Amino acid sequence: MRETLKQSKFHRILFGEFHRNLKISDFDIGIFSTVTFLSLFGVVMIASVTIPLTDGSLSMTLNHIVKLILAIFIGLLIFRVSLSTWKKIDISLIIFSFFLLTLVFFPLIGFEANGASRWIRILGFSFQPSELMKFSLIIYISSYCFRRMTEFKEKWLGFWKPVLVVISAIALVLVEPDLGSSAVIFLISLTIMFIAGAPLKQMLIIFFMGLSVFISMILLVPWRMNRILSFVDPWSNYGESGYQLSQALIAFSRGDLFGVGLGESLQKYHYLPDAQTDFIFAIIAEELGLIFCIFLISIYGYFIFKSFLLGRRARIIKKFFESYLSYGVGVCIAFHVFINIGVSSGMLPTKGLTLPFISFGGTNLMLMFALTAILFRINLELQESSEVEERVLGV
| pLDDT of 5 | 54
Determine the structural domain holding residue 387 and report its residue range.
1-78+242-305+358-395
In a domain, 180, yes or no: no
Q: Which residues contact 170 (CB under 8 A, 6 or more apart)?
A: 182, 185, 186, 210
In a domain, 20, yes or no: yes
In a domain, 263, yes or no: yes
**Inter-residue contact 277 to 309 (CB < 8 Å):** no
Distance from C-alpha of 33 to C-alpha of 361, rounded to nearest angstrom: 22
In a domain, 145, yes or no: no
To the nearest whole number, what is the mean pLDDT of the chain? Answer: 86
CA distances 111 to 101, 133, 176, Å, are 12, 18, 11
In a domain, 83, yes or no: no
What is the mean predicted confidence (pLDDT) over 223-228? 71
In a domain, 209, yes or no: no
119 beta partners? 111
Decide if pLDDT at 240 tops 70. no
Helix residue spans in the chain (DSSP H): 9-15, 29-50, 57-80, 83-103, 129-147, 149-154, 156-175, 179-195, 200-219, 222-232, 243-255, 280-316, 320-344, 362-393
Residues 130-144 have pLDDT tens digits of 999 999 999 999 999
Residue 88 vs residue 111, higher pLDDT: 88
In a domain, 246, yes or no: yes
Residue 20 vs residue 360, higher pLDDT: 360
Number of domains making up the chain:
1
Residues 157-172 have pLDDT tens digits of 888 999 999 999 999 9
122 beta partners? 125
| pLDDT of 1 | 36
In a domain, 8, yes or no: yes
**Burial class (CB within 10 angstroms; exposed 0-12, middle 13-18, buried 19+) of 321:** buried
